[in-house]
Amino acid sequence: MNARRSAGLAAVGLYGGALAVAGVLAAAGLGPAGTTADAATVASAGSVSGSATGSATGSETGRAVAPAPVVPPFTGAVAPGPAPSGPDAVPTATEGTDVPARPAVFVPTRLVLPDGTAAPVVPVGLHDDGALAIPDDVRQVGWWTGGSKAGEAFGSVVVAGHVDSAVRGIGVFAELRRLVAGQVVELDADGSGITQTQRYRIVSAVKVPQARIAQDAGIFRVDGEPQLVLITCGGAFDRERHRYQDNLVVLATPLP
């Protein structure tokens, strides 16, 4: 089973490598533009990728196949044929083994930063105005329920947290500002005596103007290469409006 999965994951990795070129091109669209064009970014080549296209899913090859015809069952009373005879004439059907292709797909409950700091992760949705509902507790961070779970083969796992709060002070995600490419972060989930873990290697950190983050196709995508997206605030702080100019977005790719 392990060989099976590792082969599958390695193949996904190769598949991901093949998409890296497309990813580099997509990455050019990621990040600030216009008025904040002079914000410095630390970006590595290659791993930020956009959405899967027809060629990436191979859909131009092969014959089209449609769902099989579904026949409604007949419910009238009909005399049955002769029953199979003998006490062992009807064997018990084997149960098909349905195995998940990925070793562990889970909703994260804990994020561990490279310095060992652990932050609880809670599932979050949206406020009525569409803003992501970040946990008020600055020691906690939120996992966006519309994104991928940890371990999924496609799409972004999005975790966001406060860099600071007027009421509660410096947040655990202030640490994102100190992260550099190559460091490892980890998502965990505890349950039934087993801890599920997925580790990610940081590849880049980008500042995106807050007003533009919703338009960034790479951050909240559910398709394409799997990635971890950590979001907090960054850039200049506007004391009049009590808000930061940018979001700081840290991207990481899953490790096998």
Partner 1 sequence: MGGAWRRRLRAGLVVLLLGGAGVLVLPAGAGAATAPTTGQVYLVQGLVGTPVSVELDGHQVAASAQPRTIVGPLQVAAGPHVVVLRAGSRPVTSARFTVVAGRSIDVVAHRGADAARAPRIVVFRNDLTPVGPGKARLVVAHAAVAPPADIRVAGSVLFHDVASGESLSLLVPASTYAVDVVASVGGGAILAPVRLPVRAGTLTRVFAVGNPGDGTADAVVQVLPVGVTGAGRPSRVPTGDGGQAAQEFVGDTPSRLPFALLASAIAALLLLRTGPARRALALGSRRHSK
Residues 167-226 that bind partner 1 (CB under 8 A): 167-171, 173-174, 177, 180-182, 204, 206, 210-211, 213-214, 220, 222-224
Supply 35's token pair: 């008025």
- 74 binds partner 1 per the rule CB under 8 A: yes
Q: What is the DSSP string of 213-234?
A: GGG-TTTS-SSSS-EEEEEEEE
Q: 189 pairs with which residues across the strands?
A: 196
Amino acid at 209: P
CB neighbours (10 Å) of residue 223?
15
Four-CA torsion 214, 217, 222, 226, nearest 10 degrees:
-120
- Minimum separation from the CB atom of position 161 to partner 1 (A): 6
* Of the candidate residues 25, 125, 191, 256, the single one contacting partner 1 (CB under 8 A): 125
- Note whether 254 binds partner 1 by CB under 8 A: no
Q: Is 87 among the residues that bind partner 1 (CB under 8 A)?
A: no
Ramachandran quadrant class, 214 (left: phi over 0; alpha: psi -120 to 50; beta: rest): alpha
Q: In the chain, what is the straight-line distance between the N-terminal and C-terminal CA atoms, in Å? A: 15
**Residue 71 within binding range of partner 1, rule CB under 8 A:** yes
Smallest gap, in angstroms, from Cβ of residue 227 to partner 1? Answer: 13
| 2 counts as binding partner 1 under rule CB under 8 A | no
User: Which listed residue (91, 116, 192, 193) binds partner 1 by CB under 8 A?
Assistant: 91
CB atoms within 10 A of CB 201: 15
Among the listed ranges 83-91, 113-121, 192-200, the one in contact with partner 1 (CB under 8 A) is 83-91
89 binds partner 1 (CB under 8 A): yes
**Binding span for partner 1 by CB under 8 A among 94-102, 111-119, 187-195:** 94-102
Query: What is the C-alpha separation between 55 and 247, in angstroms, rounded?
Result: 32
Tell me, by CB under 8 A, how many residues bind partner 1. Answer: 124
Q: How many residues belong to the chain?
A: 256
Rounded least distance, CB 24 to partner 1, Å: 13
By the 8 A CB rule, do 161 and 108 touch? no
Of the pair 32, 254, the CB lying nearest partner 1 is at 32
Nearer to partner 1, 3 or 194 (CB): 3
94 touches partner 1 by CB under 8 A: yes
